[in-house]
Amino acid sequence: MSSENITAPTLRYLVQPGGCVSGSFRVPGDKSMSHRSIMLGSVAEGVTEVSGFLEGEDALATLQAFRDMGVQIEGPDNGKVIIHGVGLNGLSAPKKPLNVGNAGTAMRLLMGFLAGQNFEFTLTGDASLTSRPMNRVANPLREMGVVVETAAEGRPPVTVKANGKVNAIHYVMPMASAQVKSCVLLAGLYAEGETSTTEPAPTRDHTERMLRGFGYDGKTDGNKASLVGGGKLTATNIDVPADISSAAFFMVAASIAPGSDITLQHVGVNPTRDGIISILRLMGADITLSNQREVGGEPVADIRVRYVGLKGINVPEEYVPLAIDEFPVLFVAAACAEGTTVLTGAEELRVKECDRIQVMADGLKTLGVNAIPTPDGMIIESGEIGGGQVETHDDHRIAMSFTVAALRATDTIVVNNCGHVATSFPGFSVLAKQVGISIEEQVV
| pLDDT of res. 8 | 65
| pLDDT of res. 1 | 38
| pLDDT of res. 202 | 84
Whole-number CA gyration radius for the chain: 21
Query: Hey, which residues does 51 pair with through a beta bridge?
Result: 239
Q: How close are the terminal C-alpha atoms of the chain, in Å?
A: 19
CA 294 to chain centre: 21
Are the CB atoms for 404 and 437 separated by under 8 Å? Answer: yes
Round to whole Å and give the CA distance between 417 and 429. 14
Angle CA 102–103–106, to nearest 5:
155
DSSP state of 339: S
Q: What is the tally of helices (H) and strands (E) in the chain?
A: 12, 23
| pLDDT of res. 176 | 84
DSSP readout, 423-440?
A: GT-TTHHHHHHHHT--EE
| pLDDT of res. 2 | 38
Per residue, the 3-state secondary structure of 29-81, as one string, reads ECHHHHHHHHHHHHCCECEEEEECCCCCHHHHHHHHHHHCCCCEEEEEECCEE
Contacts of 127 (CB under 8 A, 6+ apart): 394
Q: Domains in the chain, ordered, with CATH? A: 3-29+242-443 (3.65.10.10), 31-239 (3.65.10.10)
Query: Hey, which residues does 374 pair with through a beta bridge?
Result: 377
194-198 vs 170-172, strand pairing mode: parallel
* Torsion of Cα atoms, 291 then 293 then 295 then 301, to 10°: 40
pTM, entire model = 0.84
Query: pLDDT means per 10 residues in the chain (444 residues)?
Result: 54 97 96 94 97 93 96 96 97 96 92 94 92 92 96 94 94 91 97 95 89 92 94 94 96 98 96 95 98 87 97 96 94 98 92 89 97 96 96 94 98 96 91 98 93
| pLDDT of res. 294 | 86
Residue 325 among the catalytic residues: yes
| pLDDT of res. 133 | 85
DSSP state of 325: G
**Which of the following is catalytic: 68, 302, 325, 394?**
325
Angle between helices 327-336 and 275-282 (to 10 degrees): 10
Round to whole Å and give the CA distance between 167 and 406. 52
